[in-house]
Chains A and B, each alone.
Chain A
Amino acid sequence: MLRRLPEWAVTWPKLTVALAIAATMVFAAWLPRMRTDTDPKNMLPVTSDVRVFNRQVEQWFGLHEDMIVVGIVRDAGLFDRAALDAVSRLTDRIVRLPGVVAADVTSVTTADNVVADAGTLSVQPLLPAVPATGQELEAFRRAVMDNPMVVDRLVSSDGRVTAIYVPLEQGANGKEVADRIRTLVGEERGDLQFYVAGDPVARDTFGSEMFRQMAIFAPMAGLLMLVALYGMFRNLALAFTIVGVAMMATLWSMGLLVAIGQPVHIMSSMMPVFLMAIATDSIHIFNEFYFRLREVADRRRAVLETIETVGAPVRYTALATAAGFGVLVIGGIVPVRVFGLFTAFGTLVIRLMSFSFIPAVMMLVREDRLRLASRRESMEAGASRSLAWLGGLSLSRPRAVVVSGAVLLAVALVGLPRIRINNNMVRWFKPASEVRVADAVINEQLGGSSLLYVVVSGTGEDALKDPAALRYVEAAQRDLNQEPVVGKTTSVVDLVKRMNRVMLDDRPEQEQIPDSREAVGQYLFLFGMAAKPATLNTLITGSAERANLWVQLKTWDAGAVEQVLARLEAYQRAHPPPGLRFAPAGIAYFNLVWNREVLRDMIRTFLAALAVVLVILAVSFRSWRWGLVSFVPLGLTILLIYGAIGYVGKDFDMPVSVLSALSLGMAVDFAIHFIRRYRQRLADDPDPTRALLWTVARPGKGIMRNALLFSLAFAVMLFSSLTPYITVGAFIIAMMMLSAVFTLFYLPALIVLFARREPTGTQAPARPGAVNPVAGHGRS
């Protein structure tokens, strides 16, 4: 069928174009129903263990999944009427914002504080009213600095910074709430600085920014590509065709994705860029077409011959790319599977277009213009000449060339183990960005914006009223505080100690755990009678079977959570707990699991995809040796890039892992084109050296064009405000250029050394009606 398709398209070009557009419109008709999901959290389904446990913990302790932290800084110190007035006013206004859990907003004006005042026990907000006199201000300062539950959590130890903790309702958008808070803050006058931080801010800002920037950069990249294509082919219609094919493939796969009811997730939002990358492969068709136009008088014949020559490699690259993405389906992460599946589908659409829409357009474009433009195309032209020189170098000293490759490989392999698998969403923003600055301020001055819960479970009711259990928690907590990334820990132990001190005439030496279980129980009961129930509940369950140890971290690094948990385990090994179990939870722990599950899953599937591509290469060339040789440029490119990531010390994070998948789709193309074309050439010209030189110069030009074009288009991403996009841009440029150069430089040497005498079936003219149905093997 595919063999007749180009003929049919060439015979009925207008109908073909009309059909392609009509089909595209059918798919596009679904797009208005598009639902987006900008929450990276949803990479793990709500039914995943960590999310189920986190929900359970939230229920036990009346917690909220997401919390924004508003940092307020006054360099001259916060103990000032106007400053405290502002904090109080801001708290009142934040409480009224939609999406905020009004009852649980915590600031100095709402936080319950246990104090003893002239023999009277009082649980009241730290700051019930803004002090009127200097004396009262001083008293407030003393009350704050004297209270370990407040210092570093609500007020920094130098008295310059305070925080408002703003829990969000289920499903509230962190960016929207943060934006509203920023508006409120903008209305404040005076010498205060405000910082809005926290995981929901970073996450939701990133989610929405990602969609926004995709909407800016995908069209910009497309436009730049269009300009570059025009520069190469001097024909606007043809330039439009490549970009048009990418757009059609995007509309088809996005339309289908929406039609089956899937939301467009962060992953799939990147599909347009990926498909645009894959669509550039069509350049090889145009490249060959221009060469053919100079050699063949009849346009129809030139088109058909072009398709016949380039068809096989184009089909194989499509297959390899589609298989590479298709393999993502075996992974465990649903949005990644959806992304893999639909990108594979888009790849196949692009190939379908290559054999129908593209030849049809070639027939419709004005012939005189085409011939005029193609006149510039010749093997003797500058670019082809320097490529031929490169090929000559590779052929004349093949051993030296291969050794240089081996050296590169060794260098890459040294860098590889240095890669740190780590994800830190805050670092997806530039250092000067609002999100990152705010986070830095809170992490430096206060306990930290990243929150880890350690749930301590005992056996049976009231287990955590046992003084022995509390002493163990106290010691474990003290040990955790030694960890540099830990900014602050808070638990029911701190509360019990505080109560003990306040009940016993507020003597500082009484800040300790009482000896009897009854006393602990009565303290907690008393606190529960006097304070907001939520305050106690966030630290211990009503049954006192479980307690919650809050660990504030100074970084969002997943690795930091790992360190803390490792330390906790080491402590438990060294000091066996008295019937207590510790289990991590909370957003910081979620990020760790997300990091492990999503990234490890990506790596696993990526390795599987590499293997599949290798098998496809071997099958398509019907030889392991050829398969391996053609795998070299891809393998070397990937290893070098990851080696470089290891050297530079950049984390292997989410964006980098997504790019691995892209590299599959792209880097393998060049080798396939090169070897296929070389072997076709051998059939006409049995001298391998001459054939190789020809391949480097003629299809090689298409390869370089493809690489340059794509690098250029993606260079725009270097100007993004999100670091992952900068990474994407740099990565794609490196990948395209490296794999193109490696293909043209190493393949000739490798072929001379290892594959020259390899008998291959494809060297003979292919039998009609391809034997290998999967690969669409042979020239058609």
Chain B
Amino acid sequence: MRIRLALVVIAFVLTWAALPGGPRRLLAQAPAGADEIVARVQQAFYAPGKDMKARVTMTLISAGGDKRLRDLTMLRRNGTGGEQQYFIYFHQPGDVRGMTFLVLKYPRRDDDRWLFMPALNLVRRIAARDSAQSFVGSDFTYEHVSGRDLESDRHTVRGEEQRRGKACYIVESQAQAAAEYSRKVAWIDKATWLPVEELYYDVRGELFKEFTADEIREVGGHPTITKRTMKNAKTGHRTEVVFADVAYDVGIEAEIFSERYLREPPRRWIQ
């Protein structure tokens, strides 16, 4: 009895998982070059929709099990020619509540970043040293959050295989421009063009970071990684990220991404 129930559930899950991906899977049948695959990943991972809002909780977990929380609202708006704007409002930790952060991202150029510090009532421009910097002290870098230029790596398809229950391309990326890694191997789900797993190797060729997409959900027609983990294989430190209340194409206004709104965050988008 129980077995039959389990079979029914499995069949149901499989069917459900296969349906929305159907057309994309057809597309995937066409032979894909490495650059083409990566371009699709960039689109699916970092830029779906015209805009996006999400409540992001990041749990930073040390090797010893100590946890720290980063709770923030993230607004993203896609501009023209690959430009993107990010507005981030911090809810937690407590002493940074109300801190806001603005990132203007340009292809093939350093980001512009501004930060508002409520304790000093001060907006400061922050230089973007390199995109391999940690994002708010987590194991994710800015690049993990907002993407990396396609040309910064040399991409090669290393084959196809099942990974985490998905039919995947294996794409290897060798860093050509400055990066925290020298080599990255990614398993790209053919159906969603999202990476289900990524392994990062350092200059000595040793594994040092592992990314996993722990939950992928369809939101507003866009497959979205709603739970993800980045683990530092060397230190054992990891960061678990949950994207909640994700919404696409909600009409976030362009003027929000400005210094004025850093000081007075838009109530409408930030609960």
Chain A residues within an 8 Å CB radius of B64 = 59-60
A529 and B204 within 8 A (CB): no
Which segment, of A328-336, A519-527, A747-755, faces chain B?
A519-527
The reply on B36 being an interface residue by CB < 8 A is no
Chain B residues within an 8 Å CB radius of A522 = 95-96, 99, 117-120
Tell whether A530 pairs with B129 under 8 Å between CB atoms, given A59-B62, A522-B96: yes
The reply on B60 being an interface residue by CB < 8 A is yes
B93 and A121 within 8 A (CB): no
A533 and B234 within 8 A (CB): no
Chain B residues within an 8 Å CB radius of A542 = 60, 62, 66, 68, 137
The reply on B10 being an interface residue by CB < 8 A is no
Q: Mark A36-71, 1 if CB is under 8 A from B, else 0.
A: 000000000000000000000001101000000000
Q: Which residue of A lies closest to B65 (CB)?
A: A59
Tell whether A102 pairs with B204 under 8 Å between CB atoms, given A521-B95, A528-B136, A530-B133: yes
The reply on A712 being an interface residue by CB < 8 A is no
Which segment, of A13-21, A93-101, A583-591, faces chain B?
A93-101
Most buried by B among A124, A541, A542: A542
B66 and A465 within 8 A (CB): no
CA distance in complex: A43, B208 (Å): 33
Contacting residues of chain B (84-99) with chain A, CB-CB under 8 angstroms: 90, 93-96, 99
The reply on B122 being an interface residue by CB < 8 A is yes
Q: How far is the CB of A171 from chain B (nearest CB, A)?
A: 14
CA distance in complex: A543, B69 (Å): 10
A543 and B234 within 8 A (CB): no
CA distance in complex: A465, B94 (Å): 12
CA distance in complex: A120, B99 (Å): 17
Chain A residues within an 8 Å CB radius of B126 = 120-123, 526, 529-530
A518 and B203 within 8 A (CB): no
A95 and B124 within 8 A (CB): no
Q: Mark A110-151, 1 if CB is under 8 A from B, else 0.
A: 000000010111111100100000000000000000000000
CA distance in complex: A120, B111 (Å): 13
Chain A residues within an 8 Å CB radius of B135 = 529
A122 and B129 within 8 A (CB): yes
Chain B residues within an 8 Å CB radius of A103 = 202, 208, 234
A525 and B204 within 8 A (CB): no
Chain B residues within an 8 Å CB radius of A125 = 129
Q: How far is the CB of B70 from chain A (nearest CB, A)?
A: 9
CA distance in complex: A516, B202 (Å): 40
Q: Which residue of B lies closest to A517 (CB)?
A: B95
B119 and A536 within 8 A (CB): no
Chain B residues within an 8 Å CB radius of A96 = 203-204
CA distance in complex: A531, B93 (Å): 18
The reply on B217 being an interface residue by CB < 8 A is no
The reply on A722 being an interface residue by CB < 8 A is no
A124 and B204 within 8 A (CB): no
B137 and A529 within 8 A (CB): yes
The reply on B271 being an interface residue by CB < 8 A is no
Chain A residues within an 8 Å CB radius of B80 = none
The reply on A532 being an interface residue by CB < 8 A is yes
The reply on B134 being an interface residue by CB < 8 A is yes
Tell whether A536 pairs with B137 under 8 Å between CB atoms, given A59-B62, A522-B96: yes
Contacting residues of chain A (473-526) with chain B, CB-CB under 8 angstroms: 503-504, 514, 516-522, 525-526
| Residues on B facing A (Cβ under 8 Å) | 60, 62-64, 66, 68, 90, 93-96, 99, 101, 115, 117-120, 122, 124-127, 129, 133-139, 202-204, 208, 234-235, 237
Between A and B, 26 residue pairs with Cβ closer than 8 Å are A96-B204, A102-B202, A103-B234, A120-B124, A120-B127, A121-B125, A121-B127, A122-B129, A503-B124, A504-B120, A516-B119, A519-B119, A521-B93, A521-B96, A521-B119, A522-B117, A522-B120, A525-B90, A525-B95, A525-B136, A526-B117, A529-B135, A531-B134, A541-B66, A542-B62, A543-B68
| Residues on A facing B (Cβ under 8 Å) | 59-60, 62, 95-96, 98, 101-103, 117, 119-125, 128, 462, 465, 503-504, 514, 516-522, 525-526, 528-533, 536, 541-543
